[in-house]
Structure 1
Amino acid sequence: MPSLRELAEGRRLGDHQAMDQATLDWITSNRPTSFPDRPARLPHAPLLLIPPTDCFADARLTDSIHGVLHGARVSVLASLLAGEHGLSREETAALSVAAAVHDCRRRHDRDDVAHGQRAARWFAQHHQIVSHAFGHRLLVGLIAPAATAVALHDVPYDAFSPEQVRAYAQAQHFTDLLKAADCLDRYRLPLDRWWPDTTRLRIRVPAWLPPVAFALVTASEQHRLDGASPADALTLARLTLYR
């Protein structure tokens, strides 16, 4: 069976895309040369929120490149960015919960237009159940900006409609942070031209964070391929950042 990287190179990616050892070996061996030998130790303990499999619109996507591992890693990265940008504990929790489920309404792993809007509607309707599952009670006033960030995460800034521009104005910081966190997890993708381009972001990303994002991808995906559950794979990957 061809690897995910081979499928990407041949423009033959299917609707459901999962990591494989050959692709992960390629990602690991192509670690950016600008990164230090080891990622910096985390400045504070981030939230790690592992999305329940039953929140996904299609069960086949739970173990895909937009599945549980991706959502959980984006929650970690969103939490770290929130700390860098001075968000309160309550704001950080709301942003991280939104990050964990931002892709849960995808129908496939290709360019699924409007999946952010579908996830935002689902989040707005189920935020109490979701926050309970994660153990974080969300402030009522933070539900709308968190949902807006989810709705806009997959839309380029220059493609915002007038309605989306107005929505963005009401949730600018949450949207910018979620877009940045999602972008930083692109090291999981099988072509390096798809990897993070921070020049497209509207917030400052500290220099220590991209190496952390890369390490989270490679460690969690390897643990998962080695047979660990998603929760164990992510926990073990996060622990490596404290050594």
Structure 2
Amino acid sequence: MTQQTHRSGAASLRGLAENRMLPDHQVMDQPTLDWIAEMRPEVAAAPPTLPHLPLMLVPEATWFAQPRCVDSIHGVRHNARVSLLSSILALEYGLDRDHRAALCAAAAVHDCQRHNDRDDPGHGRRATAWFTRNHAAVTGMIGRELPQDVLAQAATAISLHDVPYERFTVQQNQRYQRAPHLIDLLKVADCLDRYRLPLARWWPDPSHLRLVPPDWLHATAHDLVVRSEQARLDGASNHRALIHARQITDPAQ
């Protein structure tokens, strides 16, 4: 099978994935993004008008354990998009202001302690430890102090986001019962950003979730990937690329 190549001559993520040759660190390229853009999911309903602009927290590069992960498919843009999707879901499910902020914070750091772009078991636990030490820096960017019990729920959500429900231990199930909505919604938001991955069989599968995302949110998640990744490939900074993508969720647009 011939690998796809982009302008630099390097193999595309899609070509590498088809040949089972993905490297430890994976960065978006134009041929892969072109394929993603052509595969926009069809949805039956248009997105509703949100009551206000949802939160989006863009993580700092210094929050990441590995510099090579900052611009990778689990890097700044992924974590920021998951924070935005989490905020939308929090509004949909009627979470209060503190829990909306906590979910946004958890989403923004959930993959920051990854060592690579593969399965990387334990990265949720590592991110939890980092968040426990640095939560003030994270919530400070939101401009909101959170109660200790809410911070603890956010930490639990981070620690369990990468553990499939069927693999929960007895202890993990007990922890889940203390923060079920934050855990469920973080898993949904993380799943929805799988439209960035180079094979369709890796895209969102609601059968792995306990809460089913609204149908219209699939197209929104896909569009956020395409708009932010294209802007980044066109030379925008991570922050500008994400702000550009976020405009599709602005009720004033």
TM-score norm. by structure 1 comes to 0.95
Residue identity in the other structure for 2:34: D
Question: Is contact 1:39-1:241 (8 Å) kept?
Answer: no
Distance 1:156 1:228, change over 3 A: same
Classify the secondary structure of the residue corresponding to 2:177: helix
Match of residue 169, structure 1, among 164, 177, 186: 177
- The residue number in structure 1 matching 2:146 is 138
- The residue number in structure 2 matching 1:185 is 193
User: RMSD of the TM alignment (CA)?
Assistant: 1.4
Residue identity in the other structure for 1:53: A
1:83-232 superposed matches below 5 A: 83-232=91-240
Q: Extract unaligned runs of 5+ from structure 2.
A: 1-9
Residue identity in the other structure for 2:126: R
Match of residue 60, structure 1, among 63, 68, 84: 68
Residue identity in the other structure for 1:227: G
Residue identity in the other structure for 1:40: P
Question: Is contact 2:54-2:249 (8 Å) kept?
Answer: no
Match of residue 47, structure 2, among 22, 27, 40: 40
Structure 2 Cα separation of the partners of residues 208 and 238 of structure 1: 16
Match of residue 86, structure 2, among 62, 68, 78: 78
Structure 2 Cα separation of the partners of residues 87 and 240 of structure 1: 22
TM-score norm. by structure 2 comes to 0.92
Structure 2 Cα separation of the partners of residues 22 and 39 of structure 1: 28
Structure 1 Cα separation of the partners of residues 121 and 38 of structure 2: 32
Residue identity in the other structure for 1:124: T
Structure 2 Cα separation of the partners of residues 15 and 31 of structure 1: 27
The more displaced of 204-213 and 22-31 is 204-213
Kindly state the Cα deviation for residue 139 of structure 1 after the two structures are TM-superposed.
Answer: 2.1
Kindly state the Cα deviation for residue 199 of structure 1 after the two structures are TM-superposed.
Answer: 2.2
- The residue number in structure 2 matching 1:18 is 27
Match of residue 17, structure 2, among 8, 11, 29: 8
Number of corresponding residues: 241
Structure 2 Cα separation of the partners of residues 41 and 225 of structure 1: 30
1:83-102 deviation per Cα after TM superposition (whole angstroms, max 9, x unaligned): 11110011100110110000
Distance 1:88 1:148, change over 3 A: same
Q: Percent identity?
A: 54
Residue identity in the other structure for 1:17: Q
Structure 1 Cα separation of the partners of residues 97 and 185 of structure 2: 15
The more displaced of 129-138 and 142-151 is 129-138
Kindly state the Cα deviation for residue 41 of structure 1 after the two structures are TM-superposed.
Answer: 5.4
Distance 1:131 1:80, change over 3 A: same
Question: Is contact 1:145-1:170 (8 Å) kept?
Answer: yes
Q: Extract unaligned runs of 5+ from structure 1.
A: none
